[in-house]
Structure 1
């Protein structure tokens, strides 16, 4: 295998969506081709190709993406390395490429890290912020008393997200909400986005007046869906997290949100669930 220090890091383009999807599928992630298309169209995606000793590039073996949300804040994600190229420092080099670009653009960067990832990002200068818990529901529980869900208002949803994040992600939210199969739903006291993933439908972001309203929203969404569901809950929303497990949701893994650079603004109020580790 080639010396990692000698391998070229390239910027990827729209034609790399399926190759990126192959990497996230290998890692058992939930991203689908629409997610990759969005990152390649709106973000700056770096990658490494296995040239197998030839000048002609072959398969994509590693990626990392920088997704600017505003002129001050961006998200880093899609940090993926295929199995036989791991543990050689390639992910660190790709994240460094994202950070170098972010520094040149004057961006504060954020990411949601697995425990293994957090051990890598900490020494790079990332500071931990909130914690998340990913939960799965395999089959929706049978319910005879389901509150009707109506369509949510995109402008209200965007305003809630800005308050929760501290910066504006309206382009992302409009794109996610506009995808085939997506639903922006409300019950009057809570609002959530439900969208397709590769292996499960995803709930989030989710905003509510309190944990009881957030749990009612999740219950009603689950009763109106078929197939498995995923949700990335904010860990310090204790009552909400406890209620989810009592409803049959199973905690799969933790994520640690981390920031590189100064905080540009402070969130006014945390959501109950987020858009997913790839988007924040």
Structure 2
């Protein structure tokens, strides 16, 4: 495998042209993932997107690095076209992304699938905590959720998010909130952001002081949604998980939050009841 990976040319994209966007969207579609063109745009604008092309110039693998504040970078979007798998492309893109993080003297984090966890462990990544993606199927038409005409206080939301995660990412939250199909529900307990994905709405981040408050935010977040819904929840939130089951959610897949280095995130993780998504942390 080492010789195969050494022969792979990983390209760092300078911009998202229509052809590049189409190639990246095709990878998401082929992999059955939930990301949208807006998600690729935030990687391109605020971070770095890397690709591998075949001999005809078509994109067949991808990866992304997104900085969160001055010390942390999130690695994600390690995707390989189905007919190009088994050739070390995913490992090559991942190592390229990791080199970018190391060159910037940052701490690398990621949310790994079970297969990815085995790979990343080989490069020194350690488990932080487990996550489960819960999903709710499409629902019959129901009463629409009331939409607030008052714009959310993006700075206040970003401050709470930074306190919970242990790293600031105001540009990411501002991007979510600026999307016309995003909804933000708030309470004295915290907030939840609901945004449209390719195949399902994504709830997250959902931050609350207590699980009862998280359940109330989740109930308001799904009100009026007829489309499928994803929510990625830390496994320690056992009470919240029971509340999700009662609301019609079922477990879909697992992830493991992993970090590299001896400078762990110092966040208030008990605030986190749903992450922004494995691509964003």
Fold shared, TM-score > 0.5 on shorter chain: yes
Instruction: List aligned pairs for 1:115-134, cutoff 5 A.
Output: 115-134=114-133
The reply to whether residue 77 of structure 1 matches residue 76 of structure 2 is yes
Structure 1: gaps (5+ residues): 52-56
The reply to whether residue 112 of structure 1 matches residue 111 of structure 2 is yes
Deviations, residues 198-256 of structure 1 (Å, cap 9, x unaligned): 01111100011311121122112212322111111111011001210122101100110
User: Aligned partners of 1:192 and 1:235: how far apart in 2?
Assistant: 18
User: Aligned partners of 2:122 and 2:4: how far apart in 1?
Assistant: 23
Deviation at 1:74, TM superposition (A): 0.4
Q: Is the 8 A contact 1:161 1:168 kept in 2?
A: yes
User: Aligned partners of 1:193 and 1:49: how far apart in 2?
Assistant: 35
Deviation at 1:191, TM superposition (A): 1.0
Q: Is the 8 A contact 1:148 1:187 kept in 2?
A: no
Instruction: List aligned pairs for 1:142-157, cutoff 5 A.
Output: 150=148, 152-157=152-157
| Worse-superposed segment, 191-200 or 33-42 | 33-42
User: Aligned partners of 1:184 and 1:160: how far apart in 2?
Assistant: 14
What is the TM-score when the length of structure 1 is the normalising length?
A: 0.91
Say which SS state the counterpart of residue 36 (structure 1) adopts. helix
Find the partner of 2:46 among 42, 48, 70.
42
What is the TM-score when the length of structure 2 is the normalising length?
A: 0.90
What RMSD in Å do the two structures reach over aligned CA positions? 2.2
- Alignment correspondent of 1:14: 16
Instruction: List aligned pairs for 1:154-233, cutoff 5 A.
Output: 154-233=154-233
Q: Is the 8 A contact 1:17 1:40 kept in 2?
A: no
Structure 2: gaps (5+ residues): none
The reply to whether residue 86 of structure 1 matches residue 85 of structure 2 is yes
The reply to whether residue 25 of structure 1 matches residue 33 of structure 2 is no
Say which SS state the counterpart of residue 226 (structure 1) adopts. coil
Q: Is the 8 A contact 1:80 1:91 kept in 2?
A: yes
The reply to whether residue 272 of structure 1 matches residue 276 of structure 2 is no
Say which SS state the counterpart of residue 274 (structure 2) adopts. coil
4+ aligned runs moved over 6 Å, structure 1: 141-144, 146-149
